[in-house]
Amino acid sequence: MAEPKFEKDLERLEQIVEALEGGELPLDESLKKFEEGIKLGRRCEKALSAAEKKIEILMKNADGELEPQPFGEEDAAGEPDESSDGEEAGESSESEEAEEGEMLF
């Protein structure tokens, strides 16, 4: 069975970073590796975004129905994330509402 493309891309990206950090490459080769690294980074980001969307789709609500939920809202025990600084469950601060529409990458 072939190695998954994401893992292969990530491994190649790590090799490129090591080579660039070594500082031994000529400038033209460094630029080529940098360009390849940017392309690989973008492909990895797309693969991670697709995986996150699949996870959101598969999350179930309290009634056992599939319901999209933001990734990372609950810990492994099913408890809400306690990073709300004392706010009641279901309440959100203005900063949380602003963050919901923002992308991480």
Residue 23: phi and psi, rounded to 5, are 75, 10
Report the CATH architecture of 5-76: Orthogonal Bundle (1.10)
- The 3-state DSSP composition of the chain as helix, strand, coil percent (nearest 5) reads 55, 5, 40
pLDDT number for residue 78: 52
pLDDT number for residue 55: 81
Mean pLDDT of residues grouped by 10 in the chain (105 residues)?
Answer: 80 96 94 96 94 79 68 53 47 46 48
Domain coordinates in residue numbering, the chain? 5-76
Residue 74: phi and psi, rounded to 5, are -125, 150
88, 99 contact by CB (below 8 A): no
